[in-house]
Structure formats: C-alpha cells, structure tokens
C-alpha cells in the first residue's frame, strides 16, 4: 500500500515555498524604494518640513540649519568645526553619558555633519528606535550648554582631524579660500591651527543663537510619517528668522602650500553653477562626468574622457578627476590633479587648456548624461545620501524634489545647455590651489587663463 505521507509533505512544502516567493516579490527592498514622493509643509514659523516614505527598514530624521562655516564671523572662524565635534556633549536636560547610553540602548545612531552652508543632526535606526530617541535628537541639536571643560577636552580630537586631512581635501579647501578671498564660502570647514583652544563656549553660543533659528531650519525624514514629523518640528518651538544672507562673490586667485614629498595635488576651478536654477546645476553635473569624474569600475582605468587622455601610460598613481560643487548662490567647477611632482605641471596646463576650451563633444555629452543619471539614481537608493540631499534642498532651496522630478529635468538637458556651462567656466577667472612638491607646478600668471 502506498503511503500518502510523502505526497502531502511535498505539496505542503511547495505551497509554503510559493507563499514565501509571493511575499518576497511584494516586499520592499531592504534599503527602501528610491522613487518616493516627497511631502513638504512650511510651518507658521517658517520651518520647512519634508519627508518621503521609502519603506526602508531604517528610518532617518535630520534637523538641518543654514549655519555652516560661511556664516562664521571674523571672531568665530572654526566655530562650525567645533560645533560638529561638540555634538553629543552634555545638554540642558541630559549628560553626555545619558545621551550615549539611551541612543545605543535602542540600537540607533546620532551623527552631526557640517559643510560650508549647513549643519545637520541626523538620527538613524529602526522606526521604533527613532521614535523613542527623537527627544534626544531635539536636545542635542537645540539645547547645548557647552560646558567649558567638555569643550576643552575635545581640542586633541580637533588637532587629530587637522593632522589626518588628506592632501586632496586640503587642496579643495584652499581652492575655496582662493576663489572667494577667504570670505563667506571661502571660510574653511576646519578650524585653523592658531585657533585651537580659542573658540570659547560663549562664541559657540553666539553662533547657535544667530543661526539656529526657525527661518534657517528644515526638519526632514525618510521612512517616517509626515504628520508625525510635522508634529515633531512644531514641538521644537523655534522662532526668529535670522539675518539676511550675504552673497559670496566669486573672485578667483591662487594659494600654494609647498610641503615637499614626491607628489603634487592641484585643484583648478572656474565659476560653476548655483542651486538657484536646477537645470543649470544639472548641466554642470553632466559636464563633470563628460570631462571625466573617475572610473566606476574597481581597479579599472577610465580612458575615454578628455581628462583621462591627458594621463601618461604608466603605472604611477596619477589621477585627474573633474569636480563640481553647487551652493545656494555660487559654485565651483574644475579638476583635481594628483600626480608625481615632475609631471604635475604638464597635467595642470593640459587641464587648463580643456577648461578654457569651453567645448563638449556629442560623444562626451551622451556619456556624461548617462553617468549622471546613474549617479543620481544610486544616490537616492542610499538612505544616507537621500537624507542629505533632502535636507540640503529643503533648507537651501525650500522646495525639495523627488527622484522622478529630478530625472525629468535631467532628460531635458541638451548639449547646448552643457556647452553653455562649459563656456561659463571658460570665461571666468581661474582659481588654483596646490599642495605638496610644487617645484614643477606653474603659477597662475604663468598659464594662459
């Protein structure tokens, strides 16, 4: 007699597998969807609240202030850097130990990041963890007390960060200083060595009181309910509009930092596009990849872009990467060169010739547009990058856009738009910052600018 036991088990197994496959096909990706809809609300006190439901397992909430290094005064240079280091210190309602313990107990993460325009406090974790630690995020971002002994204890950390800066980052930092003549966007995102230990708690409190106000704030979230986020933003009880922003005017110039060694790191740029016009900003992004922003394949060399064709056929670690940075009222576009000191001069002259040429071929345009679309899509797939983009667009532009809207504008970019961007760079006065062995690096007045 044949038993039906095996047959029943097999049918049951197949049914379970089928159900599992059906559930898996309907489940959201671990990192969530990238084409989420962005909901935006402006509170009566002018705080911008923006959120997107990406159905990710990790939720993120960020409080962003327009309070980066460009808003420092002559008496507070380096305050933004010290503020970033001071995130998580004792507040009016919690000690440093309590903040760390309560955040780690639920498995969440609380970070602070600073650039030239913004300071953001970001909370990450599961939905329940983020909900439980939102009061801590509020306390860290808005209730700092800057105890003198805690601020002083962080000076060695500041000194370590200054000592471990890569030379490429140093070159980009000096480029901003040269381009904007050490004003506004020309302020470094790092504290100067001569200011170590000189930024007092009173200076930090002044920077916070002037810039951590409702008119300069945005609260953004991914993987959170928009109504709940609006309620949280309303409970921050922010007020004030802050002073009017002073525009940073591009000037152009040169800074050299001769450090010796075998390599030279050179940042060359002209005036780029700002975030005021999304189409112009995207045109510069396409131009960046058209000229050559580096390879997308590990251990591979890019050899199709104009910048890549300048590199000698050798195994030396010589690189040329186009870079593009857009701010609320200005921008920089150019290239970063890292090369052997005896080859750096020739490469710099080649890069300047391309930048001053102001031309983009149809082949480079098509490749740059495809790479830009890929880069934007990959950035929105990452919640870490997505929350940064959402925060910047909300606090700087006041009107965040979702991925679909962004790609729609990108599809409308033509070769003429990119050529106009290249022409803008070609007509502007160049800025050059160089770090390393500069024996073969030409001065600004020695090249045709």
Which CATH number goes with the domain that contains 438? Answer: 3.30.830.10
Determine, yes or no, domain membership for 248: no
Determine, yes or no, domain membership for 120: yes
Determine, yes or no, domain membership for 18: no
Domain of 168 in residue numbering reads as 38-235
pLDDT at residue 28 in the model: 61
Determine, yes or no, domain membership for 64: yes
214 in the same domain as 121:
yes
Query: Which structure tokens are listed for 238?
Result: 């922010």
226 in the same domain as 263:
no
231 in the same domain as 259:
no
Q: Count other Cβ atoms within 10 Å, centred on residue 109.
A: 15
| Per-position DSSP letters for 339-404, written without gaps between them | EEHHHHHHHHHHHHHHHHH----HHHHHHHHHHHHHHHHHHHHSHHHHHHHHHHIIIIIS----HH
124 in the same domain as 75:
yes
366 in the same domain as 269:
yes
pLDDT at residue 299 in the model: 67
Number of H helices, E strands in the chain: 15, 11
227 in the same domain as 177:
yes
The H or E element that residue 433 is part of is strand 431-436
Domain total of the chain:
2
Tell me which of 206, 235, 264 is where a domain ends.
235
Contact 207, 79 (CB under 8 A): yes
Cβ-in-10-Å burial (0-12, 13-18, 19+) of 80 comes to buried
296 in the same domain as 226:
no
311 in the same domain as 220:
no
CA 208/CA 215 separation, integer angstroms: 13
pTM for this entry: 0.89
pLDDT at residue 302 in the model: 64
pLDDT digits (tens, 9 = 90+) for 385-424: 889 999 999 999 888 888 899 999 999 999 999 999 999 9
Residues of the chain with pLDDT under 70: 1-31, 298-302, 314-316, 448-449
CA 63/CA 224 separation, integer angstroms: 14
């Amino acid at each position: 007699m044949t038993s039906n036991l095996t047959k029943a088990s097999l049918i049951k197994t197949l049914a379970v597998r089928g159900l599992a496959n059906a559930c898996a096909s309907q489940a959201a990706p671990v990192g969530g969807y990238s084409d989420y809809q962005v909901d935006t609300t402006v509170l009566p006190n002018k705080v911008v609240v923006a959120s997107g439901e990406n159905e990710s397992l990790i939720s993120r909430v960020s409080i962003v202030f327009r309070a980066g290094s460009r808003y420092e005064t002559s008496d507070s240079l380096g305050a933004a850097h010290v503020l970033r280091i001071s995130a998580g210190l004792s507040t009016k309602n919690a000690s440093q130990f309590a903040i760390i313990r309560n955040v780690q107990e639920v498995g969440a993460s609380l970070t602070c990041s600073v650039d030239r325009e913004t300071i953001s406090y970001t909370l990450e974790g599961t939905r329940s963890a983020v909900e439980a630690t939102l009061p801590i995020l509020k306390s860290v971002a808005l209730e700092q007390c800057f105890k003198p002994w805690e601020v002083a204890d962080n000076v060695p950390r500041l000194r370590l960060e200054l000592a471990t800066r890569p030379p490429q980052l140093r070159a980009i930092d000096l480029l901003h200083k040269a381009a904007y003549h050490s004003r506004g966007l020309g302020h470094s995102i790092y504290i100067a060595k001569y200011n170590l230990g000189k930024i007092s708690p009173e200076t930090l409190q002044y920077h916070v009181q002037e810039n951590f106000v409702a008119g300069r704030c945005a609260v953004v979230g991914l993987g959170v309910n928009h109504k709940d986020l609006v309620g949280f933003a309303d409970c921050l009880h922010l007020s004030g509009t802050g002073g009017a922003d002073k525009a940073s005017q591009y000037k152009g110039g040169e800074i050299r930092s001769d450090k010796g060694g075998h390599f030279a790191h050179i940042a060359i740029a002209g005036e780029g596009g700002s975030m005021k016009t999304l189409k112009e900003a995207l045109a510069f992004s396409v131009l960046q990849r058209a000229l050559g922003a580096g390879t997308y394949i590990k251990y591979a060399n890019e050899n199709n872009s104009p910048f890549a064709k300048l590199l000698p056929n050798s195994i030396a670690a010589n690189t040329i990467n186009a870079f593009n940075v857009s701010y609320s009222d200005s921008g920089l576009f150019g290239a970063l060169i890292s090369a052997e000191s005896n080859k750096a001069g020739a490469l710099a002259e080649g890069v300047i010739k391309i930048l001053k040429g102001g031309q983009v071929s149809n082949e480079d345009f098509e490749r740059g547009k495809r790479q830009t679309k890929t880069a934007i899509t990959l950035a929105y797939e990452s919640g870490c990058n997505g929350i940064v983009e959402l925060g910047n667009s909300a606090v700087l532009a006041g009107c965040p856009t979702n991925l679909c809207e962004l790609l729609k504008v990108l599809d409308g970019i033509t070769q003429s738009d990119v050529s106009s961007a290249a022409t803008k760079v070609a007509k502007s006065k160049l800025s050059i910052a160089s770090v390393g062995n500069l024996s073969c690096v030409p001065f600004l007045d020695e090249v045709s600018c």
